[in-house]
Amino acid sequence: MAQTIYVLNGPNLNLLGTREPETYGHSTMGDVETICRESAARHRLNIDFRQSNHEGELIDWIQEAGAEQAAGIVINAGAYTHSSLAIRDAVAGVATPVIEVHISNIFAREHFRHHSHISAVARACLCGFGIMGYRLAIEGLAALIGAGEKA
């Protein structure tokens, strides 16, 4: 049976494409989901794509991915990246490899965005590639878990 990658998106990302295009571009979460599904399909992987504005719900989903032995988690925790020890602990608590993604280059922005609580416990981090970062994260996960490309 095909393995599943959870793609988890945090607060306000449901608004992607509606404002701040100079930082986040014009694409929507729907576009991000399409990119993720296309990338995963090339490696015969399933995508479970979710967005929540609630910290506890994101934590429940990280734990669920761990319990379900998901092939990986791609997470853009939004602003919780910079504030949530609880999400950091959830990521640290799963054996599933976690890839941290940010659409913008958080290091080229305000000082308060320069620190991520998640980076130290993630398997890898990507930022500044726009929504292409999600595709790169799935490609990277596929390589990590040895999911070959579809002929």
Contact with ligand CA2 (CB under 6 A) among 5, 7, 8, 16 = 16
Contact with ligand CA2 (CB under 6 A) among 43, 88, 102, 117 = 102
Pairs from 38-42 (Cβ < 8 Å, separation ≥ 24): 38/135, 39/134, 39/135, 39/138, 39/139, 39/142, 40/5, 40/138, 40/142, 41/150, 42/142, 42/149, 42/150
Contact with ligand CA2 (CB under 6 A) among 13, 58, 71, 94 = 13
By the rule CB under 6 A, 103 interacts with ligand CA2: yes
Known catalytic residue at 24: yes
In the numeric block, the tokens 């579809």 are attached to 150
Known catalytic residue at 111: no
Report the site for ligand CA2 in 58-97 (rule: CB under 6 A): 76, 78-79, 81
Q: Which residues have CB under 8 Å from 118's CB, separation 6+?
A: 75, 77, 81, 87, 88, 91, 98, 100, 125
Query: Which lies closer to ligand CA2 via its Cβ, residue 71 or residue 106?
Result: 106
Single-letter amino acid code for the residue at 108: A
By the rule CB under 6 A, 135 interacts with ligand CA2: no
Query: Which lies closer to ligand CA2 via its Cβ, residue 3 or residue 11?
Result: 11
Catalytic residues: 24, 102
